């Protein structure tokens, strides 16, 4: 399983988890989860060395489409990654 739904993800937010926010810097600066790592999609391939292969990353995008692709990319390169289904859009909707 390479994904996690918003409800299960929210249950983990009070724990020390690694959140990889792949939205662009503008979207990240407009609002992000505490302790999220900003790593826009365009810079991610060049920044893989910053990631730890022993850490599970929860990949977050705006709507979840890009995070699915990036989570697969990371898993294919030996990292542990789950994409958050629905992304920030779903998180905001769930919080409302």
pLDDT tens, position by position, 6-31: 999 999 999 999 999 999 999 999 99
**34-73 pLDDT per residue, tens:** 999 999 999 999 999 999 999 999 999 999 999 999 999 9
Q: Say how far apart CA 37 and CA 57 lie, in whole Å.
A: 10
- Please say whether the beta carbons of 1 and 80 come within 8 A: no
Longest dimension (CA), the chain: 37
Q: Whole-prediction pTM value?
A: 0.94
CA distance 5 to 41: 21
> Per the structure block, which two tokens stand in for 30?
């407009």
Which tokens sit at 75?
A: 């898993």
CA distance 78 to 69: 15
Q: How many C-beta atoms surround the C-beta of residue 48 within 10 A?
A: 14
In the 8-state DSSP scheme, what is residue 13?
T
């Amino acid at each position: 399983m390479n994904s996690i739904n918003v409800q299960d993800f929210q249950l983990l937010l009070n724990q020390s988890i690694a959140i990889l926010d792949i939205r662009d810097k503008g979207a990240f600066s407009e609002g992000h989860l505490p302790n999220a790592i900003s790593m826009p999609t365009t810079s991610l391939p060049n920044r893989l060395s910053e990631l730890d292969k022993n850490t599970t990353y929860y990949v977050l995008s705006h709507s979840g489409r890009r995070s699915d692709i990036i989570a697969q990319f990371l898993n294919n390169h030996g990292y542990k990654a789950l994409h958050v289904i629905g992304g920030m859009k779903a998180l905001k909707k769930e919080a409302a």
